[in-house]
Amino acid sequence: MPLFNEERWIDDCIQALLAQEYPVDRYEILVVDNNSTDGSVERAARHPRVRLLREPTQGDFAARNRGILESSGEILAFTDSDTAPRPEWLHSIVGHMQTTGASLLVGRLEYGGRSHALQLLEAYEAEKGEFIFGAGIPRIYFGYTCNMAVRRSVMDRLGPFAPVFRNADVVFVRRAVDELSPRALAFCDAMRVRRLEVASVRQYLGKQAAYGADFIRYADIAGASTLNAQQRLAVFGRTVRKNGLGPLDAVVLFGFLTLGAASYEVSRWRASRKKSASTVDLPRQTAP
C-alpha cells in the first residue's frame, strides 16, 4: 500500500487491515511511504504489525514496486491508504482464486458515504465490473489497485508496474489480458473495500472527471477503450433487474449516471485538447 499524505485516513485503513478474518501469521502489511509531508508516517509507525518502507521515487507505481520487492507472500493484495478493506477481504481473495483458478482479481468498491444514491451507483459499478470481466473483450478490461490481487508468479512474469502516473494498474491489467487471456482474470464481488474519500455524489462525480482526464494518459499505452453506449445501457438494465430497482430508483440512477458520463467525457475532451496543444509542432523558421 502506498502512502502519500493520507493522515486523515491512514488509521482507518490500517485498522481494517489488522482486523482481517485471516490467520495473522499468514499475511503481512507493507506500507510504503512515498515522500509524505504530513503526519501519515508517524501514524503508520504506531502500529507494530505494519512494516513501514520508503520509496523516494514519486508515484504510486514506484511505491507498489518497492512493496512487491520487499514482500514474501504467494498472493499480492493491493489497496490504498484512503481505503478500508472489509474484514473478509483476504479470505475472499484466497477463496476466489482457489475456486476459479484466476490469477488476477479486481473487487467491488463501496463508498464512504452510505446515501441511497451512492448505494445505487455502487451497485451499477459492481455490475459493470461483472460485465467487463465476463465479456472476454480485451480492450475494455480495467483495474484499480485500491482493490486488486495478483498471484506472485504472474507479477514476476508481467511486472513490475510500468512508470505511468496514476494508471499503471490499468496498463498492467491490459497486459495480463493480452498475455494470459481474459479467462485468467476475474471480478470478485465478495472482495470489498470502502473508498473512504468518496462520501457524497459530488465526490463520486469528481472521481469520474478525474478518470476522464486520466484516460488520455494511458489509453494509447494500454490499448484500452471505454464501454460504448449500448454496453452501458446493458449494464444499467442488468443493475435494475439484479437489484430489483423500482421505476423511481431506476430514474434516479440513470440521472446520476448521465451526470457521471458527462463529467467523464468533458474532462476527457479537455485533456485531449491539452495534449494536442502540447504536441503541436512549432512552425519552422526559414533563414532570411
Residue 44: pLDDT over 50 = yes
What's the CA gap between 149 and 70, in Å, rounded? 16
Which residues does residue 33 pair with via DSSP β-bridges, in sequence order?
Answer: 3, 54
pLDDT in tens, 153-196: 999 999 999 998 889 999 999 999 999 999 999 999 999 999 99
> May I ask the CATH class of domain 2-273?
alpha beta
Residue 62: pLDDT over 60 = yes
Indicate left, alpha or beta for 265 from its phi (over 0: left) and psi (-120 to 50: alpha). alpha
pLDDT in tens, 106-139: 999 999 999 999 999 999 999 999 999 999 999 9
Segment (H or E) for 110:
strand 104-111
Average pLDDT over residues 255-260: 98
Residue 275: pLDDT over 90 = no
Residue 281: pLDDT over 70 = no
pLDDT at 8: 96
pLDDT at 278: 65
Residue 48 near residue 37 (C-beta atoms within 8 A): no
pLDDT at 282: 33
| pTM score | 0.92
What's the CA gap between 184 and 97, in Å, rounded? 10
Average pLDDT over residues 57-79: 97
Domain ranges within the chain, ordered by starting residue: 2-273
* Beta-sheet pairing, 185-195 with 83-85: antiparallel
Q: Pick the residue with more confidence: 201 or 281?
A: 201
DSSP string, 142-179: ---TTEEEEEHHHHHHH-S--S-TTTHHHHHHHHHHHH
What cell does 167 get?
494508471
